[in-house]
């Protein structure tokens, strides 16, 4: 039975994962494999004056101890990497060496024997002290600065203003699978198995770093046990694993321990966001100024674009968004699910709630008054926008009309109940992508692309789109991905995998089908011999004349007459190069949250969340639901749980483990009701799909924070919202 795009097809890889048959990076067994353990610094700034490795080198099973004194010199490593090219230390937990041994236990024991001596340099660890004393103007050419209109004049015209500081902490990714790499050299041929969201990018990075041709590098990632951004860029351990394999002339496996994932593989940076909003008494916005300070490292600038949402969310004639980076002796930050937008919508949507209370207005009404019909900055039309429908449906499903406006007025026994809402958004992106479709002699179809399965369901997406395009049963379609020998696809990040890869699958299917039917038309033994293409049908793997469907044959029979040679096509699809001149591309949504707070202990608890999304066509209903729910759970974590505790005297992270770094568990998550408008956005791509992986977190943190205020009357502008802040 064939499927249609949108059907709730169950995960193709589901059984493999629940039975343990799905192989993740660290699980591959390779002959003569050695094991590596990474050494890390214990100071935030300075240089290594000596490393005594003598005891480690004599320890049982040790193959090599590699430090900056004996490491292979690399051609062009990325600036954010610490790959033993010098003795400098730029942050606590920086990689400073690798121990390679016959077993993991041997390597870990030997690593404990290494003694390091440092020359300390005073570190930069005061975030606020690093703020610039002045700005270059509302419309400067600084990276990350965008503005229009006259904000000062708009604020002068305002009858009501909000001017508050909103802060978010450093937060660390905690995917179930830690980072893992296996590297193997065969002369100048490098094969790397890596837990990666970007195998093509990793291939290019490794080729550049080692000074070899990209054709000599192959990267494989069949399954990734979560990444959420931290497995997008290449990090030091990947290069160190390949370096160790080259120096020892053996395959090497390097798997990070959980504490090693705090520091050298990125994090969401902290932000201080000064938000100023002005409005008339009727609620019409007159000006918004959003100034963001975020930390970066001293070795590379990473910009957390938290004011992005302020540029697209509401119609306002005078807007200024400013970003400034503060260099600290911490590891380089990186993308974390909905980078920038998750933290930025917290500030903007909480500020809008505060404005609504100052105006004595329903927070939903305020948003509708300032609804943006076109992109506020570019004035371009959106590729598609149905946010009004999201507001209406979500409010109705939540029961928003029953909300009491007065804070602290809704109760359930001892608990105070709060209702809050927010708008969600995320940019809609698409990049060049390739895919292969192959009709195989055994009667099955292969769909393949060099994309990644990071938990987003790409095996299922590829299968469903290919099956629908070819009118084939899904159980006769095999999906292959996660290998750079396949047609190139972009990074699995930025909510763009499905929007990028599915048009390539669809195009490859159309070309392969045309090739197959032309082969049959030219075959005198085929039931469609001599017919025109418009007279031919193809369904369920069978070829037939439309006028006589009973006269059919399988494509396997056709291929058997032609030497059992497969018929295939590769499509490489590019987005419209003029898209940015024609449209603004964004997804939107509305989220409503209910929290309960026991005033005796100050513990906020999310009882339910309702969210409705406008994300174009839904490719698979089951996968979409899971992605939306996952994003909302991250929003709960953003609002109530996640916080990296840094000892600002030395840059050491104090809760670098899953016991003390809190993420939401089942007990923290109440009822979640998610749905989508499901209107195709054909301006975005032929299937009308946009990405959905990150939008669920945006706005959710603010909706929860707004609900906490409604319940308690306390505005907690410093995330996470914890009992100590509510009781103080």
Start-to-end CA distance of the chain, whole Å, equals: 61
Tokens representing residue 724 in the block: 């100590």
Lowest-confidence segment of 131-140, 161-170, 247-256, 345-354 by average pLDDT: 131-140
In tens, the pLDDT along 567-618 reads 999 999 999 999 999 999 999 999 999 999 999 999 999 999 999 999 999 9
Q: What is the pLDDT of residue 2?
A: 78
339 close to 333: Cβ distance less than 8 angstroms: no
Q: What is the pLDDT of residue 141?
A: 62
The DSSP element (H or E) to which 358 belongs, if any, is helix 341-358
Q: How confident is the model at residue 244 (pLDDT cuts 50, 70, 90)?
A: very high
Ramachandran region, residue 283 (left: φ > 0; alpha: ψ -120 to 50; beta: rest): left
Indicate whether 321 pLDDT > 60: yes
In tens, the pLDDT along 543-565 reads 999 999 999 999 999 999 999 99
pTM for this model (two decimals): 0.97
Per cent of the chain over pLDDT 70 is 98
Q: What's the residue count for the chain?
A: 728
589 close to 425: Cβ distance less than 8 angstroms: yes
CA distance 552 to 529: 11
Question: From the CB of residue 725, how many other CB atoms can be counted at a distance below 10 Å?
Answer: 16
Cβ neighbourhood burial of 315 (10 Å; 0-12, 13-18, 19+): middle
Under 8 Å CB-to-CB from 706, ≥6 apart: which residues? 349, 350, 353, 363, 418, 420, 421, 422, 593
Ramachandran region, residue 93 (left: φ > 0; alpha: ψ -120 to 50; beta: rest): left
In tens, the pLDDT along 110-147 reads 999 999 999 999 999 999 999 987 665 555 666 789 99
699 close to 425: Cβ distance less than 8 angstroms: yes
272 close to 302: Cβ distance less than 8 angstroms: no
3-class secondary structure per residue, 589-637: EEEEEEEEEECCCCEEEEEEEEEEEECECCCEHHHHHHHHHHHHHHHHH
CA distance 15 to 459: 12
Sheet holding 567-573, edge to edge: 477-481, 445-449, 433-439, 567-573
383 close to 683: Cβ distance less than 8 angstroms: yes
Q: Which domains does the chain have, with CATH numbers?
A: 14-21+431-574 (3.30.365.10), 32-122+176-226+231-261 (3.30.365.10), 271-429+580-727 (3.30.365.10)
283 close to 366: Cβ distance less than 8 angstroms: yes
616 close to 677: Cβ distance less than 8 angstroms: no
CA distance 342 to 633: 12
Beta-bridge partner residues of 617: none
In tens, the pLDDT along 43-94 reads 999 999 999 999 999 999 999 999 999 999 999 999 999 999 999 999 999 9
Cβ neighbourhood burial of 16 (10 Å; 0-12, 13-18, 19+): middle
Q: What is the pLDDT of residue 320?
A: 96
491 close to 433: Cβ distance less than 8 angstroms: no
246 close to 321: Cβ distance less than 8 angstroms: no
Give the single-character DSSP code of 431.
-
Instruction: Give the active site residues.
Output: 694
Q: How confident is the model at residue 447 (pLDDT cuts 50, 70, 90)?
A: very high
Under 8 Å CB-to-CB from 264, ≥6 apart: which residues? 40, 82, 93, 94, 95, 235, 236, 237, 331
Give the angle 643-646-650 at the CA atoms, nearest 5°: 170
CA distance 493 to 337: 8
From the list 484, 517, 501, 497, the residue with the least C-alpha distance to 447 is: 501
From the list 42, 41, 76, 69, the residue with the least C-alpha distance to 53 is: 69
The overall average pLDDT reported for the chain is: 97
The DSSP element (H or E) to which 532 belongs, if any, is none
CA distance 98 to 67: 7
Pairing of strands 603-614, 477-481: unpaired
From the list 126, 130, 270, 131, the residue with the least C-alpha distance to 718 is: 270
Pairing of strands 217-220, 160-168: unpaired
Question: Over the range 100-137, which residues count as b (16 or more CB within 10 Å of their CB) and which as e?
Answer: bbbebebbebbbebbebebeeeebbbebeebeeeeeee
Q: What is the pLDDT of residue 147?
A: 95
Give the single-character DSSP code of 554.
E
CA distance 481 to 574: 19
In tens, the pLDDT along 214-236 reads 999 999 999 999 999 999 999 99
Give the angle 662-665-666 at the CA atoms, nearest 5°: 165
In tens, the pLDDT along 409-436 reads 999 999 999 999 999 999 999 999 999 9
């Amino acid at each position: 039975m064939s499927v249609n795009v949108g059907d709730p097809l169950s995960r193709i890889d589901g059984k493999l994962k629940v039975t343990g048959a799905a192989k993740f990076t660290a699980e591959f067994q390779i002959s003569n494999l050695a094991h590596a353990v990474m050494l890390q610094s214990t100071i935030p700034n300075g240089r290594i004056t000596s490393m005594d490795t003598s005891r480690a080198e004599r320890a049982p099973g040790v193959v090599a101890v590699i430090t900056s004194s004996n490491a292979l010199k690399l051609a062009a490593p990325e600036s954010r990497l610490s790959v033993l090219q010098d003795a400098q230390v730029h942050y606590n937990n920086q990689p400073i060496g690798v121990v390679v041994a016959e077993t993991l236990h041997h390597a870990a024991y030997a690593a404990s024997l290494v003694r390091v001596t440092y020359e300390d340099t005073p570190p930069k660890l005061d975030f606020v002290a690093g703020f610039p004393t002045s700005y270059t103007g509302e419309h400067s050419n600084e990276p990350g600065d965008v503005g229009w209109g006259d904000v000062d004049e708009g604020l002068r015209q305002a009858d009501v203003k909000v001017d508050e500081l909103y802060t978010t902490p450093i937060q660390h990714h905690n995917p179930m699978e830690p980072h893992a790499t296996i590297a193997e050299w065969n002369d100048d041929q490098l094969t790397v198995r890596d837990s990666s969201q970007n195998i093509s990018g990793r291939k290019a990075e490794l080729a550049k770093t080692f000074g070899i041709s990209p054709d000599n590098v192959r990267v494989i990632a069949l399954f990734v046990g979560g990444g959420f951004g931290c497995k997008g860029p290449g990090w030091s351990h990947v290069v160190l694993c390949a370096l160790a394999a080259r120096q020892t002339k053996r395959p090497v496996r390097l798997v990070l321990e959980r504490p090693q994932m705090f520091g050298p593989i990125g994090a969401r940076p902290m932000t201080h966001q000064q938000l100023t909003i002005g409005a008339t008494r009727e609620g019409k916005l007159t000006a918004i100024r959003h100034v963001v300070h975020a930390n970066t490292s001293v070795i590379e600038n990473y910009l957390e674009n938290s004011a992005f949402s302020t540029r697209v969310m509401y119609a306002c004639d005078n807007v200024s968004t400013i970003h400034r980076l503060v260099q600290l002796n911490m590891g380089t930050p990186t993308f974390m699910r909905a980078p920038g937008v998750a933290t930025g919508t917290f500030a903007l949507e909480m500020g809008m709630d505060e404005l609504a209370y100052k105006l004595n207005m329903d927070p939903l009404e305020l948003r509708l008054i300032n609804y943006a019909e076109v992109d506020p900055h570019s004035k371009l039309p959106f590729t598609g926008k149905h946010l009004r429908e999201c507001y209406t449906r979500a409010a109705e499903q939540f029961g928003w009309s029953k909300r009491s406006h007065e804070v602290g007025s809704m109760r359930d026994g001892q608990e105070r109940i709060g209702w809050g809402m927010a708008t969600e958004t995320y940019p809609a992106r698409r990049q060049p992508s390739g895919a292969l479709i192959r009709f195989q002699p055994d009667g099955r179809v292969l769909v393949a692309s060099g994309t990644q399965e990071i938990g987003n369901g790409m095996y299922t997406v590829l299968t469903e789109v290919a099956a629908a395009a070819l009118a084939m049963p899904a159980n006769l379609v095999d999906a292959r991905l996660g290998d750079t020998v396949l047609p190139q696809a972009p990074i699995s990040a930025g909510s763009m995998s499905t929007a990028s890869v599915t048009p390539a699958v669809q195009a490859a299917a159309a070309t392969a089908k045309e090739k197959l039917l032309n082969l049959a038309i030219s075959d005198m033994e085929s039931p469609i011999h001599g017919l025109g293409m418009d007279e031919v049908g193809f369904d369920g793997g069978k070829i037939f004349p439309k006028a006589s469907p009973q006269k059919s044959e399988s494509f396997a029979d056709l291929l058997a007459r032609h030497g059992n040679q497969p018929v295939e096509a590769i499509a490489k699809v590019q987005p419209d190069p003029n898209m940015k001149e024609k449209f603004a591309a964004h997804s939107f949504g509305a989220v409503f949250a209910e929290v309960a707070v026991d005033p005796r202990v100050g513990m906020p608890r999310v009882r339910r969340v309702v969210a409705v999304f406008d994300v174009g066509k839904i490719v698979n209903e089951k996968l979409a639901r899971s992605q939306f729910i996952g994003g909302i759970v991250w929003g709960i974590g953003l609002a109530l749980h996640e916080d990296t505790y840094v000892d600002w005297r030395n840059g050491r992270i104090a809760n670098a483990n899953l016991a003390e770094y809190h993420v939401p568990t089942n007990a923290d998550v109440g009822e979640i009701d998610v749905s989508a408008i499901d209107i195709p956005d054909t301006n975005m791509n032929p299937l009308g799909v946009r990405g959905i992986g990150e939008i669920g977190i945006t706005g959710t943190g603010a909706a929860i924070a707004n609900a906490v205020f409604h319940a308690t009357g306390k505005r907690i502008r410093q995330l996470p919202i914890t009992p100590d802040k509510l009781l103080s």
